[in-house]
Every structure is written in C-alpha cells, then in structure tokens.
C-alpha cells in the first residue's frame, strides 16, 4: 500500500533525526510531534471516518496522562500505559453511551466541555491530583529512548488505524458519516459503530497521553486545555480528515510551525484558530483532499486527452 509505505519510510527517516540533531530540546519537540501524530490520527477515526466531531480530544490525552502519571513508579510503565488506554476508553464509554445516540452536534458540545469538567475535578480533589501543580513522575526512559518509543507509537497508531479505516470498520463508519439514516436502513447498528470509533479514538489518545506524561516528567491540568484539543482539530482539518495520514502530516507540520512561535504568548493559539477557520472555509477536505481532487482532475483531463 503506497501511502503506508510512505509513512514507514518517513518514520525511518525520522529515526535517523537524532543523529543529525542531537539537541535535546529539538528532540523534545519531535517527541511532542510524534505524540500529536497519535492524537490527531486517533481523532480522525472518529471525526473523519464516523463524522463525529470531537472537540475535546484533550480529555483522553489528559486522562491518560494522569493515569500513567499516578502509576509511574508503582507499576511498570507498560502497565501504566495500558491503564491509560483503559481509563480513556472508559471515559469514552461513559460519555458515548448517553450521547452518541443524539444529534451529532450535541455530542460535539459535550466533548467540548467534558475536559473542562475534568479539569475542575482535578482542582477540587487537589489532595490526590496535586491541583494546579499537578504531579511529577520519573520517566521510564531517557529522552532519546522516549523519542524512539513515541515514534513507534505514532507509526503504530497510524498504520493500525489506517488499516482499520480501509477495512470493513472504516467503510461502515464512512457510510454512517455520509448518511446515518441510510446506513441504518442498510442494517448497520450505528450506535455500536460510533461507540467503537469513540473508544478506539480514546484508547490510542490515552496511550499517547501516558507517554506525554513521561516525556514531560509531569502532568498538570493544562493537559486538558482547549489549546490541546484545538491544535489537534486544526491538524486534522488541515491535513485532511478521513485519511489518517493527512492528520498525521498536519500534526508534524503544525507542531513544528507552532514551535517557531513559542516566544510570542498566545500567538500559537491564534495561529491554530486562524488556520482552522481558513481550512474549514476554503479547504474543507484538507491538504490530502486537495491533492486527491487534483489527482482526480488530472486523471480526468488525461482521459479526455487520450479520448
């Protein structure tokens, strides 16, 4: 599969990056980019395939981060990450069961505010969560090790979800996105499928959240922030929803672009919001969509030319 081969090749290239850029700060940026690839790709299976817009991916990232953060030092990191996935998936079920039945706009609003609520809970139970100071933890690997692990996470997430997307699950989700009434008339149990997409999205994001905690050595309520959720949406929208690979590209692109603005407070937030607005207005299918459209147009002209 050409696209997947491309992804593996890109990952292989990235694997060589530390040799060229030994700077630990740059390594951290790349780690974050890797993580955002996972966040955006998992977001896409829900938003791009099932058509359910999740405005609060940070909920799963943060939940995974806190879960792994608590268990760091108490359990092996692998179990901590598994717990992160389970906690995030559990939240997805908790929210999804009542809300996926509803008109999809309502789910969007619920996902928008859910991280806010969790943030409040974190502040309220500050004895356990450390409140605004959060918790610190001993990362289970050094920065270089984490770079490779997060790279593997990004690659794995993209490949697995891309495969699922091309398979029966993806097809069914796309049908639900196109017309869920027609999908039901075709015998599809739409709630079950939407829930599956929601849980997948949450689980992969949760694992990434756990890795995020280790990468930073700390977890704070900022993990639930709207900025995180919106950055992910911007990455997905710009990259091209419904492709998994598009959002992965968007994640790398926007993380690196965002870094260049690190100096100016909130400039990054404005950038992401403006990009998102522009994407939704002018490029609704993202870059992947624009490329696909150009390819189809090129093919059409080629056909006409040879006719």
Q: Among 9, 25, 73, 124, indicate the residue that binds other proteins (CB under 8 A).
A: 124
Q: Are 296 and 288 in contact (CB under 8 A)?
A: no
Q: Which of residues 252-291 bind other proteins (CB under 8 A)?
A: 265-267, 269-270, 272-274, 276-277, 280-281, 284
Tokens standing for 299? 């093919």
Q: Rounded to an integer, what distance in angstroms lies between the CA atom of residue 206 and that of residue 210?
A: 6
164 vs 51, 72, 235, CA distance in Å? Answer: 16, 31, 20
Pattern of binders to other proteins over 37-66, x per CB under 8 A?
A: --------------x-x-x-----------
Span from 32-40, 74-82, 85-93, 105-113 in contact with other proteins (CB under 8 A)? 105-113
Q: 3-class SS at 142?
A: coil
Q: Which is nearer to other proteins, 256 or 274 (CB)?
A: 274
Judge residue 168's burial from the number of C-beta atoms within 10 Å of its C-beta, 0-12 exposed, 13-18 middle, 19 or more buried. exposed
Does 179 help bind other proteins (rule: CB under 8 A)?
yes
Intra-chain end-to-end CA distance of the chain, in Å = 30
In three-state secondary structure terms, 218 is: strand
Position among 3, 108, 148, 290 found at the interface with other proteins (CB under 8 A)? 108
Q: What x/- string results for residues 128 through 167 when contact with other proteins is judged by CB under 8 A?
A: ----------------------------------------
Which helix (H) or strand (E) element contains residue 219? strand 218-219
φ, ψ at 118 (rounded to 5°): -65, -35
Closest distance of CB 4 from other proteins, Å: 20
Residue of 5, 13, 185, 307 that binds other proteins (CB under 8 A): 185
In angstroms, rounded to a whole number, what is the distance separating the alpha carbons of residues 257 and 271?
9
Dihedral over Cα of 76, 17, 215, 274: its sign? negative
Which of these ranges, 76-84, 181-189, 201-209, 212-220, lies near other proteins under the rule CB under 8 A? 181-189
Half-sphere exposure of 208 (CA within 13 A, CB side): 35
CB of 78 to other proteins, least distance (A): 32
Task: Report the residue from 181, 303, 305, 307 that binds other proteins according to the rule CB under 8 A.
Answer: 181
Determine the Cα–Cα distance for residues 275 and 272; give it in Å rounded to an integer: 5
Position 8 contacts other proteins (CB under 8 A):
no
The only residue of 186, 256, 257, 298 in contact with other proteins, by rule CB under 8 A: 186
User: Can you give the binding site for other proteins, defined by CB under 8 A?
Assistant: 51, 53, 55, 95, 98-99, 101-106, 108-110, 112-114, 116-117, 120-121, 123-124, 168, 171-172, 174-175, 178-179, 181-190, 226, 230, 233, 237, 265-267, 269-270, 272-274, 276-277, 280-281, 284
């Amino acid at each position: 599969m050409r696209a997947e081969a491309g992804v593996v090749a890109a990952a292989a290239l990235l694997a060589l990056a530390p040799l060229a850029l030994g700077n630990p700060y740059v390594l951290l940026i790349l780690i974050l980019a890797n993580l955002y690839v996972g966040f955006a790709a998992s977001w896409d299976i829900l938003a791009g395939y099932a058509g359910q817009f999740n405005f609060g991916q940070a909920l799963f990232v943060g939940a995974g981060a806190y879960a792994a953060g608590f268990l760091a030092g108490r359990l092996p990191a692998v179990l901590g990450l598994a717990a992160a996935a389970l906690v995030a998936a559990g939240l997805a079920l908790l929210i999804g069961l009542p809300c996926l039945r509803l008109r999809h706009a309502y789910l969007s609003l619920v996902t928008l505010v859910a991280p806010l609520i969790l943030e409040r809970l974190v502040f309220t139970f500050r004895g356990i969560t450390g409140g605004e100071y959060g918790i610190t933890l001993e990362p289970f690997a050094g920065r270089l090790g984490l770079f490779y692990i997060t790279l593997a996470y990004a690659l794995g997430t993209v490949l697995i979800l891309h495969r699922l997307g091309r398979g029966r699950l993806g097809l069914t989700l796309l049908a639900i996105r196109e017309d869920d009434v027609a999908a039901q008339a075709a015998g599809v149990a739409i709630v079950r499928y939407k829930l599956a997409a929601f849980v997948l999205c949450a689980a992969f994001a949760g694992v990434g959240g756990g890795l995020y905690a280790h990468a930073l050595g700390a977890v704070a309520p900022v993990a639930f922030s709207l900025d995180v959720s919106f950055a992910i949406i911007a990455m997905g929208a710009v990259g091209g929803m419904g492709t998994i690979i598009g959002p992965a590209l968007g994640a790398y692109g926007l993380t690196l672009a965002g870094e260049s603005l690190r100096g100016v407070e909130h400039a990054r937030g404005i950038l992401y919001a403006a990009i998102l607005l522009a994407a939704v207005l002018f490029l609704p299918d993202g870059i992947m969509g624009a490329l696909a459209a150009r390819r189809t147009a090129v093919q059409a002209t080629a056909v006409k030319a040879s006719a």
